[in-house]
Copies of this chain bind each other. A is one copy, B any other.
Amino acid sequence: MAVIVQKYGGSSVGDADKIKNVARRIAHTREQGNDVIVVVSAMGKTTDNLISLANQITGQPDDREMDVLLSTGEIVSSTLMAMALRELGHPAISLSGAQAGIRTSSKYSRAQILSVDPARIENEFGKGNIVIVAGFQGITNDMDITTLGRGGSDTTAVALAVQLKAKICEIYTDVEGVYSADPRIIPLARKLKDIGYEEMLEMASYGAAVMHSRAVELGELYGMPIQVAASHNSNPGTIIHGGTPMEISNKVRGIAHDLNVAKITIVGVPDKPGVATSIFEPLAKAGVSVDTIVQNSSIDRIADLTFTVHKSDIGKAMKVVEPVVKEIGAASCESDSKLGKVSVIGSGMQSAPGYASTMFKCLYEAGVNIEMITTSEIRITCIIAEDKVKEAVKALHKAFELETA
């Protein structure tokens, strides 16, 4: 029998009726002769409600306790799903992350999966059970409960798929797959039949929030095909895998965007060793995640350094940076919170020239001013004004001929 892993997110199991609907889909997969592992997230707003409870008790909840608290959300939905499957006549059993053999590091709230012991799940397969696993959680060697942080349930699903040698890991969510651009902005956006891991990683980290990068990276590492599809219909989704042909006719696969961008510019940074460390080490310590960093050339040994952070972090970042500016002898610093990002992504780009110039020309013709540029092998990203992002996505989607025929 083939093993299939299916993951259902919080909105797909938001109430009793939704759970019953999902149970019918799982039953169907089982009836086709597969061994099925189902990974579930917490129901709808459960996690938010638990966080709010903790905040009523203390302003600084302990990480270990918070993890135990939050892990209950996924356990609740896993038991309800097992009950719903039994109601349909299918033997099913729920397992916590610990019972499913998911061993993690002890970094509470963002633990990493170290290993998966497949014994219990294999044992349950032997008894004919569909196995429902509470996502987002694991257990340390000291038997303490951990949670995996953002994207945790997706990561649980891929890890189980890898360890149990699944045919595929199916991620069911409230969107139908990965699109050539955000369908809310571009009605003509095309659902991609498939996409490469690397491309998906660029799409995901640049704002196409279908799936967390972490799970995609794990899939790439072990070559596990991942399908992203809707839980509310049976339309085919997008398959993320390693086998995307490099020489496809249109080398741009999608346009990603991100409205959550602020930048900080430090003017007149002396060009001496250790300056970058003085700036970015305190930011890291303060928990500010820095994204794009650009430094202009410094013929006179004085440069401007610009970097971007999440909008919500701009206050914290400025507090850290302002004293550093004085300390290193820079002239001043300034911030801008009204920015966005637009990216052109495609693995074919690395072997063919001209994509950058097409992008810049397109933005120029659309009247969009480019503030910063960064590139990877398979991506070109421009930081632009927030209120130009929508327009820019539209223009690029058309320019790279991504619209549905």
Q: Which positions in A face B, CB cutoff 8 Å?
A: 15-16, 19-20, 50, 53-54, 56-62, 64-66, 68-69, 71-72, 75-76, 78-80, 82-84, 86-87, 93-94, 96, 99, 120, 143-145
Question: Which residues of the partner chain B approach A68 to less than 8 Å between Cβ atoms?
Answer: 75, 78-79, 94, 96
Check A80/B76 contact, CB under 8 A, given A20-B57, A62-B86, A87-B58. Answer: no
11 residue pairs of the A-B complex, CB under 8 angstroms, read A16-B56, A16-B57, A19-B57, A20-B57, A57-B87, A58-B87, A62-B83, A65-B80, A71-B75, A99-B143, A99-B144
Shortest distance in angstroms between A102's beta carbon and chain B's nearest beta carbon?
A: 13
Q: A60-B87, A65-B93, A68-B75 are in contact. List 18 more A-B contacts (CB 8 A).
A: A15-B56, A16-B56, A50-B76, A54-B80, A57-B83, A57-B84, A58-B83, A58-B84, A59-B87, A62-B86, A64-B93, A65-B82, A65-B86, A66-B79, A68-B78, A68-B96, A72-B76, A96-B145
- CA separation between A61 and B93, bound complex, in Å? 12
- Whether the Cβ atoms of B69 and A79 lie closer than 8 Å is yes
Q: Which residue in chain B gives the minimum CB-CB distance to A61?
A: B83
- CA separation between A84 and B54, bound complex, in Å? 9
- CA separation between A96 and B143, bound complex, in Å? 10
- Whether the Cβ atoms of A65 and B94 lie closer than 8 Å is yes
Please give the count of copies of this chain that the complex contains.
Answer: 2
Question: Which residues of the partner chain B approach A53 to less than 8 Å between Cβ atoms?
Answer: 16, 76, 80
Question: Which residues of the partner chain B approach A93 to less than 8 Å between Cβ atoms?
Answer: 64-65
Shortest distance in angstroms between A101's beta carbon and chain B's nearest beta carbon?
A: 10
- CA separation between A86 and B65, bound complex, in Å? 10
Q: Which residue in chain B gives the minimum CB-CB distance to A72?
A: B72
Question: Which residues of the partner chain B approach A87 to less than 8 Å between Cβ atoms?
Answer: 57-60
Q: Which residue in chain B gives the minimum CB-CB distance to A145?
A: B96
Question: Which residues of the partner chain B approach A16 to less than 8 Å between Cβ atoms?
Answer: 53, 56-57
Shortest distance in angstroms between A404's beta carbon and chain B's nearest beta carbon?
A: 40
Q: Which 6 A-B pairs have the closest CB atoms?
A: A16-B56, A72-B72, A58-B87, A69-B79, A65-B79, A68-B79
- Specify which of A50, A66, A94 lies most central, judged by the most chain B CB atoms within 10 Å of its CB: A94
- CA separation between A66 and B96, bound complex, in Å? 14
Shortest distance in angstroms between A40's beta carbon and chain B's nearest beta carbon?
A: 13
Question: Which residues of the partner chain B approach A71 to less than 8 Å between Cβ atoms?
Answer: 75
- CA separation between A65 and B75, bound complex, in Å? 10
Question: Which residues of the partner chain B approach A83 to less than 8 Å between Cβ atoms?
Answer: 54, 57-58, 61-62, 65-66
- CA separation between A84 and B120, bound complex, in Å? 36
Q: Which residue in chain B gives the minimum CB-CB distance to A43?
A: B53
Q: Which residue in chain B gives the minimum CB-CB distance to A99?
A: B143
Question: Which residues of the partner chain B approach A78 to less than 8 Å between Cβ atoms?
Answer: 68
Question: Which residues of the partner chain B approach A54 to less than 8 Å between Cβ atoms?
Answer: 79-80, 83
Shortest distance in angstroms between A370's beta carbon and chain B's nearest beta carbon?
A: 48
Question: Which residues of the partner chain B approach A76 to less than 8 Å between Cβ atoms?
Answer: 50, 53, 69, 72
Shortest distance in angstroms between A228's beta carbon and chain B's nearest beta carbon?
A: 27
- Specify which of A56, A68, A94 lies most central, judged by the most chain B CB atoms within 10 Å of its CB: A68
- CA separation between A51 and B78, bound complex, in Å? 14
Q: Which residue in chain B gives the minimum CB-CB distance to A75?
A: B72
- CA separation between A79 and B55, bound complex, in Å? 12
- Whether the Cβ atoms of A86 and B58 lie closer than 8 Å is yes
Question: Which residues of the partner chain B approach A84 to less than 8 Å between Cβ atoms?
Answer: 57-58
- Specify which of A15, A59, A60, A87 lies most central, judged by the most chain B CB atoms within 10 Å of its CB: A87
Q: Which residue in chain B gives the minimum CB-CB distance to A76?
A: B72
- CA separation between A19 and B53, bound complex, in Å? 11
Shortest distance in angstroms between A279's beta carbon and chain B's nearest beta carbon?
A: 34
Question: Which residues of the partner chain B approach A61 to less than 8 Å between Cβ atoms?
Answer: 83
